[in-house]
Amino acid sequence: MGRAGGPSTLIYPSPGYTDQERELALTAVALASCNCERAATSLAEQDLPPVPARTLRKWRQEHADLYARVEGDVLPQIRADLAADYTDLARYQLEVARKVLDRLNAEADDPDKLPTRDLAGALRNVKVSAAVGTDKSQLLRGEPTERKEYRSGAAAELERRLRALGVVIEGEPPIVDAEVVDDRQLPEGKQADQAGAAD
């Protein structure tokens, strides 16, 4: 009987997990992009001790250092795999774009087969998808995804326009080559000019 006449609660003994099994389970969580349900399913599908998703969530918090290390080991491989997948997808989308373009070319004179406007939209959509896939693969590889070009004089023009709008631009004053001279080394008249300037 449970507490104070309440319903009975069955308590199942919790299976003991080794440190190696815990690390393997947390690796599955990292490979599943922190999705504990997917990681639990993955573990169950393999010949590994099953670990419930709630246990994985608990371990991820209780063993945060271990999870961070495992994730740090796994993430570069995940990114490399995703980059390769996006590259493959972009290539496939480019192949589809070629086929659509070939069909558009073949059917350009026969609007009854497929309206030209539909093929053009399909081609555009496939090309945009290919561009996005290429962008994602570059991002995951740590490659630049955009190019910025600065033309000479652009900074000076921007500064001129900002000043015209009343924007105060602060910065380092220009460095001027100068020589420090002891005022006793100056001729008589210059010493007085310097003293007056200091006042």
* pTM: predicted TM-score of the whole model, two decimal places: 0.43
Q: Give the pLDDT mean for 80-95.
A: 85
* Alpha carbon distances (Å) from 143 to 83, 93, 107, 156, 196: 11, 21, 39, 30, 61
Three-class secondary structure of residue 84 per DSSP? helix
The domain segmentation of the chain, as residue ranges, is 19-62, 79-140
**pLDDT higher than threshold 50 for residue 3:** no
Question: 115-126 pLDDT, tens per residue?
Answer: 666 777 777 877
Calculate the CA 36 to chain-centre distance: 22
Query: Percentage of residues in the chain with pLDDT exceeding 70?
Result: 72
Q: Among 8-17, 110-119, 143-152, 169-178, which is the least confidently predicted range? A: 8-17
Q: Give the pLDDT mean for 79-105.
A: 82
